Structure 1
Amino acid sequence: MMFGPQIAPSGRLIGYARVSTKSQKLDLQHDALRRAGCERVFEDHGVSGAKARRPGLDQALACLREGDALVIYKLDRLGRSVAHLAELLRVFEERGLHLCSLSEGINTQTIGGKLVFHMFSAMAEFQRDLIRENTLAGLEAARERGKRPGRPRKLTARQVSAAARSVRRNGASIAATARRYDVSPATMWRAVAG
């Protein structure tokens, strides 16, 4: 069976369909995937795209062999973000798999589809670099204002010294000392051990 505009797949066509809520229907996606020639269609019904683990997608990915194509109705049915899509496409390339998105006309078996793959990879890298750059700039700005990033400390330096003396010199237990300062034993242990 022909796939897309005059493109024959080198392997099997495996479909994947997903809707986010139980009340949504998969019929439109199923019909499009069957018309495209998918021999099997895996699905996630009522599973958000934000979920890292999606049983239907995991099964579809496990079913794919080199030369096969995963066919989806739209890109947003597959990936949670540009970075997630780029990571999936990288895995597909390593495994010799293809991705075909019917609505967007993307087929990684074509030159145009390969271009889209590289654009997704570049966008994901750009997004990661922007996040890293903005995070570092924010931390530097906070330091310049005299702020210490992160959660505020539960114990002051004076309290840590007093607690450490109580534990080391007086033999007080970590648990009792933690209760006295209204912190968890783990917090007290980290404070006096440091």
Structure 2
Amino acid sequence: MIIGYARVSTQDQNSDLQLDALNAAGCEEVFHESFTGKHRDRPILSQCLRTLRAGDVLVVWKLDRLARSLKDLVEIIHDLQKRSIGFKSLTESIDTTNSAGKLIFHIFGALAEFEHSLIVERTKAGLAAARARGRKGGRTLSLNENDVKKAAAMLSDPMITKAEVAKHFKVSRTTLNAALNRNGFKI
């Protein structure tokens, strides 16, 4: 079967152009959705993807109707290929049912992987530069060293409980225990 998927972001947008193109492309069934493409979990798209069987072809009017990011697009198409389902985008003339279309899509996949690698490299370089300047990542501590010393002093009084000390510093008992352990106090 040739199955179409059309999407508009809001109820105000008109999908007639997409629907006409999908019908002209010979789609036997068309799934239509009014939902933002920002989210990968779209109910009608999920239903459409579940409907597809080996040998079917999914057709979209334009690539951005199926996915908003290259990464999501590549993941969806790879899933279709694993299930022996073809893919066509009418506007970009991509057709994974032939060799040229498969080549183009492999190039997209390589670009997505390259983009991911660049992001990882930049993140690591940024963290290394921050460490070189003496900055540490992560959340700021709820209790500084002086607070921990005061908490330990308070806890040396057997009449004061950990719950009371935690409440005094406006932290949970778990946070108090972690701070005490981090600073070498075993109370």
With normalisation by structure 2, the TM-score equals 0.88
Asked whether 1:43 is paired with 2:32, we answer yes
The list of structure 1 runs, each at least 4 consecutive aligned residues, that deviate by more than 6 angstroms after superposition, is none
Q: How far has the Cα of 1:52 moved from its partner?
A: 2.2
CA 1:146–1:34 in structure 2 vs 1: closer, same or farther (change >3 Å)? same
* 1:169 positional shift: 6.5
Question: C-alpha offsets along residues 27-65 of structure 1, whole Å, 9 cap, x if unaligned?
Answer: 1111111111111111221x1111121011001100000
Question: For the structure 1 residues 37 and 180, does the alpha-carbon distance in structure 2 shift closer, same or farther, using more than 3 Å as the test?
Answer: same
SS at match of 2:130: helix
Change (3 A) 1:111 1:182: same
Q: Give the percent of matched residue pairs that are identical in Structure 1 and Structure 2.
A: 45
Partner of 1:18: 7
Q: CA deviation at 1:133?
A: 0.3
Equivalent pairs counted in the alignment come to: 182
Offset, 1:175: 4.1
Query: What's the secondary structure of 1:37's corresponding residue?
Result: coil
TM-score using structure 1 length: 0.85
**What residue identity is the alignment partner of 1:38?**
C
Gaps of 5+ in 2: 183-187
Counterpart CA distance in 2 for 1:129 and 1:155 is 37
The answer to whether structure 1 residue 129 and structure 2 residue 124 are counterparts is no
Q: Greater CA radius of gyration, 1 or 2?
A: 2
Q: What is the CA–CA distance in structure 2 between the aligned matches of 1:56 and 1:150, rounded to whole Å?
A: 39
Query: For 2:51 and 2:156, how far apart are their aligned partners in 1?
Result: 60
CA-based RMSD: 2.0
Return 5+ residue gaps in structure 1 as ranges.
Answer: 1-11
User: Could you give the per-residue CA deviations for residues 168-194 of structure 1, whole angstroms, max 9, x where no partner exists?
Assistant: 864744543232112345533543465
